[in-house]
């Protein structure tokens, strides 16, 4: 198998693209889930018990979705660092951005 370095991966070459892509991949479902789907469910639960949702709940849900999205982007950025990629190849090859140390075939190849 060819000798690869962490610098060869697109994740390491374009770390901010990786972080932004991950933020979109996580942010869209986080905001939809926490701001579109969850409030009506919570309101139905609250209506069952005869109370009303606090006004600050929407602000809290926006903060939660923002925190989830920012954390995922930060983790994607850290994961794109060459030393982290090399460590991942060594200890968690199934999470590596390429197959440099893995013999596992990718579907469709």
CB 39 within 8 Å of CB 109: no
The overall pTM is greater than 0.75:
no
pLDDT greater than 50 at residue 58: yes
Q: How many CB atoms lie within 10 A of CB 3?
A: 6
CA-CA-CA-CA dihedral for 47, 51, 54, 60, to nearest 10:
-50
What percent of the chain has pLDDT above 90? 1
Q: How many CB atoms lie within 10 A of CB 106?
A: 7
What tokens does 82 get? 């060459």
4 Cβ partners below 8 Å, 6+ apart? Answer: 98, 100
Domain ranges of the chain: 8-95
Average of per-residue pLDDT across 49-54: 73
């Amino acid at each position: 198998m060819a000798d690869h370095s962490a610098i060869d991966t697109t994740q390491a070459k374009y770390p901010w693209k990786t972080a932004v892509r991950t933020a979109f991949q996580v942010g869209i479902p986080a905001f939809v889930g926490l701001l579109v789907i969850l409030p009506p469910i919570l309101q139905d639960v609250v209506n069952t018990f005869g109370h009303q949702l606090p006004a600050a709940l929407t602000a809290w849900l926006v903060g939660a979705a923002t925190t989830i999205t920012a954390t995922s982007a930060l983790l994607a950025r850290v994961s794109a660092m060459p030393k982290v990629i090399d460590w991942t190849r060594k200890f968690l090859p199934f999470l590596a951005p390429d197959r440099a140390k893995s013999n596992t075939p990718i579907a469709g190849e």
